[in-house]
Amino acid sequence: MLLVLLLSLAVDGQMFGTLKSPDFPDPYPRDTVLRWNLSVPDGFRIKLYFSHFHLEPSYLCEYDYVKVEAEEEVLALFCGGEETDTEAVPDQKIITSSRNSMSLLFSSDFSNEERYSGFMAHYSAVDVDECSERTDEDLLCDHLCHNYIGGYYCSCRHGYLLHFDNHTCRVECSDGVFRERSGEFSSVDFPSPYPKSSACSYRIEVDPGFKLLLQFDPRFEVEDHPDISCPYDHLKITTGSKEFGPFCGNQPPAEIQTDSNVATVFFHSDNSGENLGWRITYTSTGSKCRAPEAPPNALLTPVQSEYSFKDHIVVTCSPGFTLMKWWIVGVRRWSPWPTWCLGAMTTAQSLDQVLSMFAERTSSSSTAAAVSTAVVLLENGRTHNQGLVHLPVYQSLQHVAGPPASPPLR
């Protein structure tokens, strides 16, 4: 009658220990199967070596043997007492698990022609240096990795925040408003890879009356997918009621001409990938204005084929004429520019008072400051002396000898 001894021993949480074949150092029994399941805390792996080994030899260890396994993988298979072409012995080999568990299986068959003393093995927990054992493609931490006995932790470079996953570094990037009429901005660290797990919002807000034009740097690289449109990282742009995007891939979008003075650029990145990012250059152009005609006795500079919203024009009086300053001036227009000066009034006077004053054909050179140049600002089809008034009022030219007879008012 054959009796097979089957035993399984769990050794949990011990940082070191010794394993022996049954009855060691006496000969081990026949028909025996014994397994040790070793485990140590997370952050460690197991190192195993043999100080004594003497088992029955056999071709490819078919009879008696010791098998070492970890993560369902056979790390070693030993038998005999000396190394041969078909038999392996531990000798001075050190066997190390990839993680924090390992098992050792001892098996003997039904016969022993000689007396074999078995084995003695020793194991210990070894700290895992997680930081140094990873490749660039398999990094545990986005930026900085710090190892300690039994574990590791991640940290981020200055200006970044550690994501709640404790591995990824992200940025706060949603507080910028660009108000200049031209400029540029980009993904963080462009053209180096942008941060993971981030949601960035950029707002462009120029003066009303201007329209924004957005252009992309040719170096455009945002993580994409071959079959699905931008499921991971993407760039979106909204202007008024219009939305552009999402954009991703390695081809920059075409320039975007908006009909708005406000645009919002939103960029999202997930927790994986290494991509260069993007850069946007924006400019703004004003609405086109009718080309002004110079009023009598005045010169306009600069002379251009067309003028845009917020362009500045210098009006210079001819010799013998003066320009009224610090006064609101009522005029009659039969072209885009005033061609007749009716007179001057203080800010406390009404336009009706001015009309009444000029109906009496009175004038006084002392009521106007004797200056000969003013800067006129084009705004929504109107002109005014910049910084002086806030109404659709026009520059006034007054001859030092008094205004000529005014034409009929409309």
- Please tell me the distance from the alpha carbon of residue 259 to that of residue 285, in angstroms, as a whole number: 10
Q: What global pTM score does this model have?
A: 0.52
Q: Sorting pLDDT into bands at 50, 70 and 90, what band is 385? A: very low
Residues in the chain, total: 410
pLDDT value for 113:
75
pLDDT at 341 over 50: no
Asked whether residue 376 carries a pLDDT value surpassing 80, the answer given is: no
User: What distances in angstroms separate CA 272 from CA 113, 168, 192, 224, one per listed residue?
Assistant: 61, 9, 15, 11
**Count of beta carbons in the 10 Å neighbourhood of residue 19:** 20
| Banded pLDDT at 321 (limits 50, 70, 90) | confident
Per-residue pLDDT tens for 26-81? 999 999 999 999 999 988 999 999 999 999 999 999 999 999 999 989 999 999 98
Model confidence pLDDT, tens digit, residues 153-189: 999 988 888 988 898 888 888 767 999 999 999 998 8
306 compared with 95, residue with greater pLDDT: 95
Question: pLDDT tens digit string along 186-228?
Answer: 998 899 999 888 889 999 999 988 999 999 999 999 999 988 9
Among 134-143, 294-303, 345-354, the minimum mean pLDDT is found in 345-354
DSSP conformational letter for 61:
G
| Ordered structural domains, the chain, with CATH | 5-127 (2.60.120.290), 136-169 (2.10.25.10), 181-285 (2.60.120.290), 289-399 (no CATH)
